[in-house]
Amino acid sequence: MRIYVNNLNELGDNEKITINGWVQETRKMKNLMFIILRDSTGTVQITAKKDNLGNYNEIYDITRESVISVSGILNKKSVSKSGIEINADKIEILSYAATPLPMGVIDRVSVDFDTRLNNRFIDLRKPENLFIFKFESELLFGIREYMNNNNFLEVHTPKTVAAATEGGADLFRLKYFEKNAYLNQSPQLYKEILISSGFDKVFEVGPAFRAEKENTVRHLNEFTSIDVEIAFADDNYVMSLLENSLVYAINRTVKKLGDGVSEYNGSLKDVKSPFPRITYEESIDYLNSKGFKISFGDDFSPEAMKTLADKFDNFYFITGWPADLRPFYTMPDENNPKLTRSFDLQLNDIEITSGAQRIHDYRMLEQNFLIKGLNKNDFEFYEKAFKYGMPPHAGWGLGLERLVMNLLHLSNVRESTLFPRDRTRLSP
């Protein structure tokens, strides 16, 4: 059985153990040295005495961030900071770290973000960065569990496609033998085809690609989209699914990761559903009362979003967006054809989800191809699925990195992306 640092508390005093990790720091005297060993769960002091180690001289010169395996006796009455140390009787060097390190793991001096991303393998050794991805993993597990408990099928749709999901310019084109293809912007069209196939409730976690022209703190060129589509459902149904699944996943994650979460965001324990709702038109009235000059049909600027966010604690929905601002497949509002049965979920001032009831009548879709200036022929494979029995349906797409960024109060979506892709970065 592998022992990790966070298991040491449960073990008995004087127990003989083996533990593996990185050399975070060393403190040396002549015949005695201390090594702070770090693994994925924490750090522990290793006490290495010349008398106990045949290769003491070699260990004495060990470089920071080298990888070692330590066997020894657990001392739970240590005077070290954690009260625990390991008295080594064998230390094996598994891998030497070269010097100097491209950046430090525990050094107080801060390096700029580019240096961090260029050396992401080291940057991610920092426990606070590893934590972001533990959090993401737990959160996603919670969402999956919620979907699984509610009879969803998890599906995988193609990312190389012949037609753009929404037309538009933010597409990556690639050569596909003799043809042109694109990297998919969203699984939208395929999710809907599966609804006509009778899959009933589908969800997908996968990459989405957008050739975003601007380099902003909330845009990536490749992000992870959590997508949901449900047959015989309307916009309200999928909004409650969204808030309930998020609250479930957040509560589960906070329970599991506890204090680590509070270090990033102390109020995550208090997230409750249902989330407040405001319509697009109410938002305009509110913002204009605060000095903005927004007309019907305008999208909201980041400044407007900040002002609106002040009205709410954390999550809130903006519903009833104008048809002009939504994709062609969005269901119009039966009472006002200029509006749609659509919503965005906001977390503070940033959009994290867009969703809607979708059009299920292919004649209505065809009208919208015309209105939006899309070439009907490009969408034949999609429209076909609407002609032979398509239920009403609704769904949403949620950006995982944006969700984590906002839940942990990170200032840049790249912080919650292992290896971000942006306008200037394609490596590592």
CB atoms within 10 A of CB 283: 24
Among 225, 245, 330, 346, interactor with ligand ATP by CB under 6 A: 225
User: Nearest residue to Mn ion, using CB?
Assistant: 354
420 lies in the site for ligand ATP, by CB under 6 A:
no
Instruction: Rule CB under 6 A: say whether 223 interacts with ligand ATP.
Output: yes
Is 273 in the active site?
no
For Mn ion, the closer of residues 22 and 275 by Cβ is 275
Annotation says 156 is catalytic:
no
β-pairing, 201-209 vs 153-154, is parallel
Residue with tokens 């993993």: 137
Q: Which does 225 bind (CB under 5 to 8 A by kind): ligand ATP, Mn ion, none?
A: ligand ATP
* Segment interacting with Mn ion (CB under 5 A) among 28-36, 280-288, 324-332, 349-357: 349-357
Residue selected from 38, 64, 210, 393 as contacting ligand ATP according to rule CB under 6 A: 210
- Residue closer to Mn ion, measured from CB, 188 or 354: 354
Residues 339-368 that bind ligand ATP (CB under 6 A): 351-354
Complex with Mn ion: residue 354 or 406, whichever CB lies closer: 354
Cα separation values, 253 from 134, 135, 206, 227, 239, Å: 9, 7, 21, 20, 21
Give the active site residue among 38, 64, 116, 219. 219
Measured between alpha carbons, how far is 360 from 50 in angstroms, rounded to an integer? Answer: 76
Q: Does 188 bind Mn ion (CB under 5 A)?
A: no
12, 13, 19, 24: CA torsion to nearest 10? 130
Residue in the shown chain whose Cβ atom is closest to ligand ATP? 399
Q: Using alpha carbons, list the distances in angstroms from residue 4 to 8, 134, 412.
A: 7, 16, 31
Output the CA–CA distances (angstroms, integers) from residue 110 to 104, 107, 116, 165, in the order listed: 9, 8, 9, 42
Residues 6+ apart with CB under 8 A from 298: 284
Is there binding between residue 354 and Mn ion (CB under 5 A)?
yes
Binding site for Mn ion (CB under 5 A): 354
Binding site for ligand ATP (CB under 6 A): 210, 212, 219-220, 223, 225, 351-354, 397-399, 401-402, 413
